[in-house]
């Protein structure tokens, strides 16, 4: 008998080949819940292969029962290990569960491994980082510029550590005019994060810039500077903060909340204050430029004064006055001639207008012996406008008279 898929069937149950079973296991292990996971267990059967690969198992004992999973860490990832795994060591391993089909064996492909205690703290720091970032404490827009010439520099660090000595040495060499205000605190150990937080709050607002930091150390030594209390204290500071925790390769969460991150305490001191030698060089350059500018202004003013003095000399001034009077007289004569010419033109034009008006004056003709006949208030222009016996008014140059039309004669030529 054969099953629906064509494979042999025994009592209604399909018979699978070994490769088919391995394929089904691969499909089952393709669950995303088995990808990129952290697994805690005890190292057993550890073998450091000559090729650089690491083969081992992780086991767990729960009462009378126990569990075990095979692991492999390829050379590429194993070269980055910061410790040497040993049998019996409690570790955290990060990787993905996969199956090796030819052997039908599943195993954890490990990409990173940490001692369990340290690993837990690493995970804690990663969680804090996500939470603080979500609060906006790491936003670049929050960062403020440092003061160019601080009068007081606050230092939050151990009073006996090398970091304080380095900071004092750099500031005294670069900018001795600045006053250093120490806000002492423990920088490692249990409860150090509380002291660091209080030290930051104690000095905030009393100085122009604050340096928070310590010298290099292990992850455990630097752990207090990852604590959310310290990070929030840095973020809430009214005063600009420089974070200088550890050395160049070290990073703490307070670095992300500070206005500036310096790789070392010495570098933080260099960023906090200017170099007096550079300041003096700049001042010398400013002084030289100001002197040159002032000299140029004085020379220009002197030339202007000499020019005014020369122009105000009595003889030269008298000559200039005579020249101006001569020009004034010439302009006066030109204006007089122009005015006369304009008056003459206006008089000629006025005479022409007067003559034109006189020629058009209807009364002017009466002076030559003519008269104007009016009838009914209208001027009589034609003999046909009159009738015999009609009364008319004759207007002459010096008066009027009334007349009666006796007879009307019409001219044949008109």
At 7 the three-state DSSP class reads coil
pLDDT computed for residue 7 by the predictor: 55
Residues 62 and 167 reside in one and the same domain: no
Q: Is the same domain home to 102 and 184?
A: no
The verdict on 268 and 176 lying in the same domain is yes
- Under the banding of pLDDT at 50, 70 and 90, the label for residue 193 is very high
Contact present, 187 and 158 (Cβ < 8 Å): yes
Domain end marker among 254, 274, 294: 274
Instruction: Find the CATH number of the domain harbouring 60.
Output: 2.40.50.140
Instruction: Say how far apart CA 270 and CA 169 lie, in whole Å.
Output: 10
Q: How confident is residue 10, by pLDDT bands cut at 50, 70 and 90?
A: low
Dump pLDDT digits (tens) for 340-362.
Answer: 999 999 899 888 888 887 777 76
Q: What's residue 23's pLDDT?
A: 65
pLDDT above 90 covers a percentage of the chain that reads 37
Which is more confident, 302 or 257? 257
Of 242, 274, 306, the position where a domain reaches its end is 274
Is 165 in the same domain as 83?
no
Does the model's pTM come out above 0.75?
Answer: no
Q: What is the mean pLDDT of the chain?
A: 85
Rounded to an integer, the average pLDDT of 224-246 is 94
- Which sign, positive or negative, has the C-alpha torsion 279, 284, 288, 294? positive
CA angle 44, 46, 50 (to 5 degrees): 170
pLDDT at 20 over 90: no
Query: Would you say how long the chain is, in residues?
Result: 414
Q: Are residues 176 and 269 in the same domain?
A: yes
Q: Could you list the residue range(s) of the whole structural domain that residue 50 is in?
A: 31-115
Tell me the C-alpha distance between 111 and 72, whole Å.
9
Please indicate, yes or no, if residue 128 is contained in any of the structural domains.
no
**For the chain, percent helix, then strand, then coil, each to nearest 5?**
45, 25, 30
Residue 93 sits in the same domain as residue 53: yes
Chain centroid, CA 285 distance in Å:
31
Mean pLDDT, rounded, for 370-384: 83
What percent of the chain is modeled with pLDDT above 70? 88
CB atoms closer than 10 angstroms to residue 150: 21
| Predicted confidence (pLDDT) per residue in 135-185, tens digit | 999 999 999 999 999 999 999 999 998 999 999 999 999 999 999 999 999
Q: Is the pLDDT of residue 248 over 80?
A: no
69, 58 contact by CB (below 8 A): yes
56 falls within a domain: yes
CA distance 227 to 38: 22
Are both 140 and 52 inside the same structural domain?
Answer: no
86 and 142 in a single domain? The answer is no
Element (H, E) at 106: strand 105-115
Does pLDDT of 6 surpass 70?
no
Task: Please give the C-alpha separations between residue 190 and each of 22, 114, 129, 193, in angstroms, as whole numbers.
Answer: 51, 21, 20, 8
How far lies 150's CA from each of 26, 96, 123, 176, in Å?
65, 53, 39, 11
Mean pLDDT of 90-118: 82
Measured between alpha carbons, how far apart are the two ends of the chain, in Å? 151
Task: Return the SS3 of 60.
Answer: strand
In a domain, 46, yes or no: yes
In a domain, 294, yes or no: no
Q: Does residue 53 sit within a domain?
A: yes
Rounded Cα distance between 149 and 162, Å, is: 25
Q: How confident is the model at residue 253 (pLDDT cuts 50, 70, 90)?
A: very high
Examine residue 319 and state whether it is found in any structural domain, yes or no: no
Residue-level pLDDT at 226:
93
251 falls within a domain? yes
Using N-to-C axis directions, what is the helix angle for 228-235 and 192-203, rounded to 10°? 10
Question: How many angstroms separate the CA atoms of 250 and 255, rounded?
Answer: 10
Q: Give per-residue pLDDT as tens, 284-315.
A: 888 889 989 998 999 888 888 888 777 766 77
Kindly list the distances between the CA atom of residue 353 and the CA atoms of 242, 346, 362, 366, in Å, as whole numbers in the listed order. 98, 10, 16, 21
Could you give the number of structural domains in the chain?
3
Per-residue pLDDT, 170: 95
Specify if 337 maps to a domain.
Answer: no
Residues 91 and 158 in one domain: no
Q: What is the DSSP string of 193-257?
A: HHHHHHHHHHHTTTSSEEEEEE----HHHHGGGGSHHHHHHHHT-SS-EEEEESSTT---HHHHH
**Residue that is last in its domain, among 115, 144, 169:** 115
> And the tokens for 316?
């030269």
- Taking the C-alpha atoms of residue 73 and residue 79, their distance in angstroms, rounded to an integer, is 10
Instruction: For residue 181, give the CATH number of its domain.
Output: 3.40.50.261
Record the tokens describing residue 215, joined without a space: 């010298």
More confident residue, 251 or 134: 134
Domain identity same for 264 and 145: yes
pLDDT at 52 > cutoff 50: yes
The predicted structure's pLDDT at residue 2? 43
Is there a single domain that holds both residue 261 and residue 177? yes
Q: What is the pLDDT of residue 82?
A: 78
**47 and 82 fall within a common domain:** yes
Please state the rounded mean pLDDT for residues 259-282: 92
- Whether pLDDT at 9 is above 70: no
């Amino acid at each position: 008998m054969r099953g629906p898929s064509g494979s042999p069937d025994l009592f209604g149950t399909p018979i699978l080949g070994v490769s088919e079973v391995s394929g089904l296991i691969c499909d089952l292990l393709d669950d995303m819940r088995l990808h990129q996971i952290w697994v805690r267990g005890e190292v057993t059967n550890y073998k450091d292969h000559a090729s650089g690969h690491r083969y081992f198992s992780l086991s767990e004992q729960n009462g009378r029962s126990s569990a075990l999973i095979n692991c492999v860490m390829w050379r590429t990832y194993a070269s980055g290990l910061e410790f040497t795994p040993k049998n019996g060591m409690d570790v955290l391993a990060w990787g993905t569960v996969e199956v090796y089909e030819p052997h039908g064996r599943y195993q954890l492909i490990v990409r990173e491994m940490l001692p369990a205690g340290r690993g837990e703290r690493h995970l804690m720091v990663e969680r804090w980082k996500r939470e603080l970032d979500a609060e906006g404490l790491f936003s670049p827009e929050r960062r403020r510029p440092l003061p160019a010439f601080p009068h007081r520099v606050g230092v939050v660090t151990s009073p006996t550590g090398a970091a304080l000595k380095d900071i004092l040495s750099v500031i005294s060499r670069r900018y001795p005019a600045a006053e250093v205000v120490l806000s002492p605190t423990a920088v490692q150990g249990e409860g150090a994060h509380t002291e660091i937080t209080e030290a930051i709050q104690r000095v905030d607002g009393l100085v122009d810039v604050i340096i928070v930091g310590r010298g290099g150390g292990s992850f455990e030594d630097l752990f207090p500077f990852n604590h959310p209390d310290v990070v929030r204290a840095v973020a809430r500071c009214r005063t600009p903060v420089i974070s200088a925790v550890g050395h160049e390769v070290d990073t703490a969460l307070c670095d992300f909340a500070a206005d500036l991150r310096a790789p070392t305490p010495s570098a933080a001191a260099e960023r906090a204050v200017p170099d007096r030698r550079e300041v003096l060089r700049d001042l010398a350059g400013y002084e030289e430029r100001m002197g040159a500018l002032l000299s140029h202004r004085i020379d220009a003013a002197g030339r202007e004064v000499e020019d005014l003095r020369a122009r105000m000399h009595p003889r030269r001034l008298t000559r200039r006055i005579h020249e101006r009077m001569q020009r004034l007289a010439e302009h006066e004569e030109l204006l007089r001639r122009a005015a006369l010419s304009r008056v003459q033109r206006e008089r000629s034009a006025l005479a022409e207008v007067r003559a034109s008006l006189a020629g058009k004056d209807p009364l002017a003709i009466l002076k030559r012996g003519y008269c104007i006949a009016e009838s009914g208030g209208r001027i009589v222009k034609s003999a046909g406008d009159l009738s015999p016996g009609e009364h008319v008014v004759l207007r002459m140059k010096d008066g009027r008279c009334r007349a009666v039309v006796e007879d009307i004669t019409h001219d044949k030529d008109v």
